[in-house]
Structure 1
């Protein structure tokens, strides 16, 4: 009986914990507080949003978290230069009077910076560093999608074609990451957060 009771308590605790999260990526939870902090920060302080707005933003945020998961799988968080950069940022953040380690924003700011640097580093390795050596692939992309460029020559719109090619690589990479890592979305919690 005692064992059954313990199992029930553990299951209840797991359900309650998940209920406070909007999603999880690769087993790592995205809390409602974290998600709304990031949403508000990136929407000029506005927290009131429709379910559709929050769902669309969560989709983007999950893509970000997938890149972070991939960076960690590649051990980019163990890199000496990365650790030095994060340490330097933390020292600078602590030196500011308005943000102390006891402040909840401090944790969100530090996490955002840590993950942002990881996302940048993994994107550099997987996508951005390949662009300068991809002239042939970019021209082939232009030829395949020539109708989208309304008859303009490659030379006229090379910058746009390069950006579109990079976006196509990014989309393919995200698709791969979504297949590789487990994603769970808590629709009920997302609906609770919606204000409109």
Structure 2
């Protein structure tokens, strides 16, 4: 079985819940090469304004609570890497158009770009995007493209939970576990993961 067939099988087994390009990024060991350490990040596909918009959207999808949020996990870098290296041109253009439409809608409704809105207005706009995606799950006829907002959420969730922060601090993944005890109280474990 070649790599392409393995990805198709993985997508089939997951019920098609993730786009093939997302699965390819995961299977291919996608990392934000430019994002290690504390150095600066220069987006390859996103403009600086789009990068900031992606960062703010992602942080509201997975906000910092008792664990770090999407911004700390550098999900924006993951998204830029995916758009640059894994997504098709059609998917990339669809996503970038979606970002432009977020700011267009924000300007029409609130006379300001999304990044300059107050928190309540940002949440209101994101709730509208979510509802719009539910009302129209196939925005491009004769295409497998998802609406923009579910794409953004998928990128954010996958980027976050495959990051070091998401896996180690949120999921509490222990790559080299110790003794296995199959029957223990949940209160002792703290998280339902590995």
TM-score (norm 1): 0.30
| Structure with the larger RCO, 1 or 2 (CA within 8 Å, 6+ apart) | 1
**Structure 1 or 2: larger helix share?**
1
Larger radius of gyration: 1
TM-score (norm 2): 0.30
